[in-house]
Chains A and B, each alone.
Chain A
Amino acid sequence: MSRLTPENVTLAEEIIGRYPRPKSALIPLLHLAQEQDGYVADDAMEHLAELVGVTPAEVLGTCSFYEMFKREPVGTYVVNVCTNISCQLLGGEELLHHAEERLGIRAGSTTADGRFTLEDVECIAACTEAPCLQVNYRYFHRITTDEFDALVDELAAGGRPDEIPPHGTLARVRQHIPDDRAAGPAVPGECGEPVWITARPAPAPEPRS
């Protein structure tokens, strides 16, 4: 796998067109590649380099900084268990340990059947709902070990396709700016004072006496 499909190239061009400079679209496009293939393939990175006008090495440089981007295939379900402070206080580390036992793998690896990848992650902003985890970035709050087992059984039996899309899909609604409503990107060197400021100048300050 693989360069972007023609449909995704069209989407990529729409995304690039929103930014004053094409390279700004790189992280959204890496997500698009990951949505297409489940991970970010080398060929996809080369394709993105062509689309935004940088070298493949620069794409790799950006891609490798961010931990959500996987450069090798991962499980159908990426299970991220939070063990940071609020979750640790309420059993997050024990939950992770239980998950390792249940799935038969250490955090950071993938089950032999390619179904589950388990990760020990940093705070995912559900601190009042500890211990918490995400499956493909969908939240599960205040989860017990029994609930974890039931979730794994359910996912192994076919999952919850309405709630949990395949790894790589984040928002299932895309922003679309209609042409007749777009203000357009603000490109450096091409913008002056905005008209709504020019039309309503602040009054001159009162002279100091």
Chain B
Amino acid sequence: MTITEAPRIVSSRFDVADGHTIDVYESTHGYEGLRAALAKRPDEVVEEVKTASLLGRGGAGFPAGVKWGFCPPGVWPRYLVVNGDESEPGTYKDRLLMERDPHQLIEGVLIACYAIGCEQAFLYVRGEMALAQERIAAALNEAYAKGYVGRNIMGSDFSVDVVLHWGAGAYIVGEETALIESLEGNRGMPRLKPPFFPAAKGLYLQPTVVNNVETLSNLPWILREGGAAFAELGAEASRGTRLFAVSGHVRQPGVYEVEFGVTTFRDLIYSPLYAGGIRDGNEIKAYIPGGSSAPWFFEEHLDLPLEKGVVDRAGSMLGSGAVVVFDETTDVVKAALRVVRFYARESCGKCTPCREGTSWLEKILERISDGLGRPSDLELLVDVCDNISPGIAWPPKQTTICPLGPSAVSPIASAVTRFRDEFAARIGEPVTVSTPITGGAYTAAPDAPAEVGA
């Protein structure tokens, strides 16, 4: 066990009564990070964030300070767009940050705008999150009244409006170019990259930084305590702390802030401080380490630390900090079907391999699940996967504009490789797969015959 006494950086007000109000926020170091930022030059603030080695907390895990630096010099205006469209299955943390500590997020937005030189910010909240919208609207109204947002912030020459905006139900809008399309009032379909890298050609084709809610919520602490103090926590590429939602068949499902890079999956799933082990004394069968798009992990991965590089090399990802635990009673065919159905429903339809592929994957899995599968169905499933994501590798290759299509491949490749016998039992005959699956975490059980998945 490697549980540490790291401070709660982003969740410190989660359990504080009225932590979402400006009075409580100001009495608990609120807006001190912004004050510290305004005492520095913008480039010094960028350096502080680079020193912190803050990785983006949305899914891709790219260093935030480096991402800010991709805006081409001399092109104005620049925009900041906050991605609060949390919808990856299993993911539950940004909603809490928006509902319980909206001022922390707003302060983070202001620090980022000051550092990057953004003259307007848009806070894009998921449409279904009415309370988050309400809390942010109230917090922005309070912050404007107190001079923290708007013209001449805290009496300085720094001026920026933060506009609350919300979506209307579409998972794909969490993809940053689709988010920008949506913010322009269009159907939320991703743009081709290149040329539409947001940092160069984003909102209204201007330089645009898109940052996740949790990423920005770390900035007040980093500016208050220093980037070096943040970087002292964690290990390797993964510094500071991070929120993980542990759901599924655990005794204490919950959202836990743990030291990044050192805490292990075993700590998170089994420690009484966190999820407390598997329900009813059952055995663990599999778990999703980072949201439904991630290849599944198994018992042999439990001692891996929650460290980006380690998990990447093991063939999956920490993604959006969503750990979903399956116990021994789980029907993996049904579980894979449910995740695949999600991608089929949420495909925007722009690219053929995703639009057609995900719905065929759903149909085939559905008939297998219903006991109507054909002996050739497993081969067909994997072949369709191979057409969406050639080689079924990790990290995935894609024949599509965005990663949504390849995300549907992960649960199938995981289930088919590891639990081949459960598919065979449903189909009623032995099943074989000749299409190669080359990804890292798509492995058979350590004691199984080596041919599976080869």
- A residues near B, CB below 8 A? 18-21, 23-28, 30-31, 52, 54, 61-62, 65-69, 80, 83-86, 88-90, 122-130, 134, 136-139, 169-178, 180-188, 191-197, 199-202
7 contacts between A and B (CB under 8 A): A84-B342, A90-B249, A130-B248, A137-B128, A177-B150, A188-B205, A196-B159
Identify which of B54-62, B181-189, B384-392 touches chain A.
Answer: B181-189
Whether A191 pairs with B76 at a CB distance below 8 angstroms is: yes
If A67-B168, A170-B130 touch, whether A85 touches B292 (CB-CB below 8 Å) is yes
If A193-B76, A195-B157 touch, whether A24 touches B128 (CB-CB below 8 Å) is no
Whether B141 pairs with A68 at a CB distance below 8 angstroms is: no
Instruction: List the 4 shortest-distance A-B pairs measured between CB atoms, nearest first.
Output: A66-B168, A26-B185, A202-B43, A23-B185
**Consensus secondary structure, chain B interface:** mixed
Whether A181 pairs with B150 at a CB distance below 8 angstroms is: yes
Whether A138 pairs with B90 at a CB distance below 8 angstroms is: no
Q: How far is the CA of A170 from the CA of B166 in the complex (A)?
A: 10
B270 within 8 A of partner (CB): no
- B residues near A, CB below 8 A? 41-43, 74, 76-77, 79, 86-92, 94-95, 114, 117-120, 126-131, 133-134, 137-138, 140-141, 144-145, 147, 149-151, 156-161, 163-171, 182-188, 204-206, 245-249, 253-255, 288, 292, 322, 324, 326, 330, 334-335, 338-339, 342, 345-346, 348
Enumerate chain B residues within 8 angstroms of A128, measured Cβ to Cβ. Answer: 92, 245-247, 253-255
If A88-B334, A122-B345, A173-B134 touch, whether A182 touches B76 (CB-CB below 8 Å) is no
Enumerate chain B residues within 8 angstroms of A172, measured Cβ to Cβ. Answer: 134
Q: How far is the CA of A74 from the CA of B43 in the complex (A)?
A: 52
Q: Which chain B residue has the least Cβ–Cβ distance from A89?
A: B248
Q: How far is the CA of A200 from the CA of B246 in the complex (A)?
A: 44
Whether B182 pairs with A125 at a CB distance below 8 angstroms is: no
Q: Which chain B residue has the least Cβ–Cβ distance from A123?
A: B89
Whether A24 pairs with B183 at a CB distance below 8 angstroms is: yes
Q: How far is the CA of A129 from the CA of B345 in the complex (A)?
A: 23
Whether A127 pairs with B338 at a CB distance below 8 angstroms is: no
Whether B161 pairs with A27 at a CB distance below 8 angstroms is: no
Whether B168 pairs with A30 at a CB distance below 8 angstroms is: yes
If A23-B185, A200-B41 touch, whether A85 touches B137 (CB-CB below 8 Å) is no
Distance between A171 CB and nearest chain B CB, rounded to angstroms: 4
Q: Which chain B residue has the least Cβ–Cβ distance from A197?
A: B117
Residue among B160, B184, B334 with max Cβ neighbours from chain A (10 Å): B184
Enumerate chain B residues within 8 angstroms of A127, measured Cβ to Cβ. Answer: 89-92, 245, 247, 253, 322, 324
Interface contacts (Cβ under 8 Å), in number, total: 234
Whether A183 pairs with B43 at a CB distance below 8 angstroms is: no
Q: Which chain B residue has the least Cβ–Cβ distance from A67?
A: B169
If A19-B163, A62-B187 touch, whether A125 touches B87 (CB-CB below 8 Å) is yes
Enumerate chain A residues within 8 angstroms of B129, measured Cβ to Cβ. Answer: 125, 137
Enumerate chain A residues within 8 angstroms of B74, measured Cβ to Cβ. Answer: 193
Whether B253 pairs with A25 at a CB distance below 8 angstroms is: no
If A90-B248, A128-B247, A128-B255 touch, whether A85 touches B339 (CB-CB below 8 Å) is yes
Enumerate chain A residues within 8 angstroms of B171, measured Cβ to Cβ. Answer: 122
Enumerate chain B residues within 8 angstroms of A20, measured Cβ to Cβ. Answer: 120, 204
Q: How far is the CA of A173 from the CA of B137 in the complex (A)?
A: 6
Enumerate chain A residues within 8 angstroms of B95, measured Cβ to Cβ. Answer: 125-126
Q: How far is the CA of A65 from the CA of B52 in the complex (A)?
A: 39
Distance between A126 CB and nearest chain B CB, rounded to angstroms: 6
Q: Which chain A residue has the least Cβ–Cβ distance from B156?
A: A196
Q: How far is the CA of A150 from the CA of B92 in the complex (A)?
A: 27
Q: How far is the CA of A112 from the CA of B183 in the complex (A)?
A: 37
Enumerate chain B residues within 8 angstroms of A196, measured Cβ to Cβ. Answer: 42, 114, 117, 156-159
Q: Which chain B residue has the least Cβ–Cβ distance from A165?
A: B130
Distance between A137 CB and nearest chain B CB, rounded to angstroms: 4
Q: How far is the CA of A80 from the CA of B24 in the complex (A)?
A: 34
Q: How far is the CA of A45 from the CA of B335 in the complex (A)?
A: 40
Whether A28 pairs with B87 at a CB distance below 8 angstroms is: no
Distance between A116 CB and nearest chain B CB, rounded to angstroms: 18
Enumerate chain A residues within 8 angstroms of B183, measured Cβ to Cβ. Answer: 24
Enumerate chain A residues within 8 angstroms of B159, measured Cβ to Cβ. Answer: 183, 194-196
Enumerate chain A residues within 8 angstroms of B245, measured Cβ to Cβ. Answer: 127-128
Q: Which chain A residue has the least Cβ–Cβ distance from B127?
A: A68
Whether B42 pairs with A183 at a CB distance below 8 angstroms is: no
Q: How far is the CA of A170 from the CA of B136 in the complex (A)?
A: 12
Given A128-B254, A175-B137, 15 more contacts at CB 8 Å? A31-B168, A65-B348, A67-B170, A68-B168, A84-B89, A84-B342, A89-B247, A125-B86, A138-B131, A177-B144, A181-B147, A181-B151, A186-B120, A191-B76, A199-B157
Q: How far is the CA of A185 from the CA of B165 in the complex (A)?
A: 14
Enumerate chain B residues within 8 angstroms of A68, measured Cβ to Cβ. Answer: 127-128, 168-169
Enumerate chain B residues within 8 angstroms of A24, measured Cβ to Cβ. Answer: 165, 183-185
Distance between B236 CB and nearest chain A CB, rounded to angstroms: 27
Enumerate chain A residues within 8 angstroms of B149, measured Cβ to Cβ. Answer: 181
Q: Which of A130, A192, A202 contacts B41 (CB 8 A)?
A: A202
Q: How far is the CA of A193 from the CA of B207 in the complex (A)?
A: 13
Enumerate chain B residues within 8 angstroms of A30, measured Cβ to Cβ. Answer: 168
Q: How far is the CA of A31 from the CA of B335 in the complex (A)?
A: 34
Q: How far is the CA of A122 from the CA of B174 in the complex (A)?
A: 14
Enumerate chain A residues within 8 angstroms of B94, measured Cβ to Cβ. Answer: 125
